[in-house]
Amino acid sequence: MKKKLFLIVFFAFFIIFLNSTKVKAVEIPKVYFEGDISNMNDKKDERQIKLKFESEDLNFEKYAKIKIQGSSSIVYPKKNYTINLYEDETFETKAKIDVGQGWGEQSKYNLKANWIDKTQARNIVSARIAGKLQEKYNVLGELPNHGSIDGFPIEVYINNEFLGLYTWNIPKGAWMWNIDEDKPEHIVLEGKWYTEYTNFKKQLDGFDGTGWEEEVGTANKETVANFNRLVSFINESSDEEFIRDFDQYLDRNATINYLLMLYLIEGIDNTGKNMMLLSYNNGKTWYPCLYDLDSTWGTWTDGTLNKSYEILPEQEISDHSDNNLIKRMIKCMPDEISN
C-alpha cells in the first residue's frame, strides 16, 4: 500500500512538474555558402564566397574570404574553415558582426568540423569547463572565456547542399587574448609540435623551427631571454626554489589550472603541443592556456579510443608527458594540485 501511495504521489508531482516547466526547443543556426570551396587542401588556398547566417535572433548576409584551418585536421574529408567577413563583393571593407555570445563585434571567425568527435562537444565543452575553472581563481577575467576558445553549434550548407554540423568558434587572434599588437611586450606563443623546446628542456636562440611559433605579436631579444630564463628556472631550480619563486615566472593559478584540466579531460595532446603561452610583460610572466581540445576524453587524432579506462587520468598524463614543467609541478606541488 505504501509503495502504491509513493508511486501515485511521485507521478502526481512529475505531471505537475512537466506542466509547470516550459522547455523551448532552440533551432540550430544555419550558415549558407554560395561559391566554390571544392578541393581545398592547402591552407594558402583562399576563396571568395557569399555567406548567409540565419538564426532565431540574428540574420545577416555578407561576403567572406574563406580558408581551410587546422594542422593534422586538414587531411580530414570534412574541413575546418577560417572566414573573414566583408560588406560587399569588393572585399575592401570588413564587416564586424556581433553573434550574441559576449564576444563583441568581430569580422573573423572559425568554423570547426569536429570530424573526429561524434559528440561535437569535446572542444567547446572542455574549453567552457576550463573557463569556469579560470573564473573561480580570477584568471584572465577580461578575456572571452578566460583565454580558452568558445563557440556554438551551427548547420553549414554549400550551394544549398548540407555540408554537416559545425561549431562557430572564436579564432586564435589578438582580440581573443586582448593583445595590443602595437605593444612589443604583448606576445602569444603556440606549441605547434613536440620538441625539446616545447617540453622546456632546451634554451633557444629564437622561436623559428623550435616547435614554438609566435601566434600573435612579434618576439624580440627580451622575449627570447625571458623564455630562456623560464627554461633555466624549470631545469635548474631546487624543489624549494621551484615552489618559492614560481610566481616570478608563471601565473600560479593559470598553470595549475592547466595541469588540472589535462587531468580532467585527459589532454595528452596538450602537454607541449597545443599549449598557448600568453604574456603581457614580454615573457617575464607567462599564462598557459588550452587550445585544440578535440583529442580529449580518451579520443585519439583519428577518432578512436586511445586508452584503457583502468588507468587514472593523472597517470595517463604522467606517462605521456615528457614536459619538464609538468614533471616539476607533479613532483614539487602535489599539495597545491590536490587542494
What number of other Cβ atoms are within 10 A of residue 245's Cβ? 12
Give the rounded percent of residues in the chain with a pLDDT score beyond 70.
90
Class of residue 39 by CB neighbours under 10 A (exposed 0-12, middle 13-18, buried 19+): exposed
At 240 the pLDDT is 97
H or E stretch at 128: helix 122-136
Assess whether pLDDT exceeds 90 at residue 306.
no
At 6 the pLDDT is 47
H or E stretch at 225: helix 221-236
Nearest-10 crossing angle of helices 324-332, 313-320:
140
Q: Is the dihedral of CA 314, 318, 323, 329 positive or negative?
A: positive
The one-letter code for the residue type at 108 is K
pLDDT digits (tens, 9 = 90+) for 200-226: 999 999 999 999 999 999 999 999 999
At 46 the pLDDT is 93
d(CA 242, CA 250): 11
- The pTM of this model reads 0.86
d(CA 261, CA 9): 43
Give the pLDDT mean for 188-202. Answer: 94
pLDDT digits (tens, 9 = 90+) for 75-93: 788 899 999 999 999 999 9
Band (pLDDT 50/70/90 cuts) for residue 308 is: low
The phi, psi pair for 113, rounded to 5°, reads -80, -30
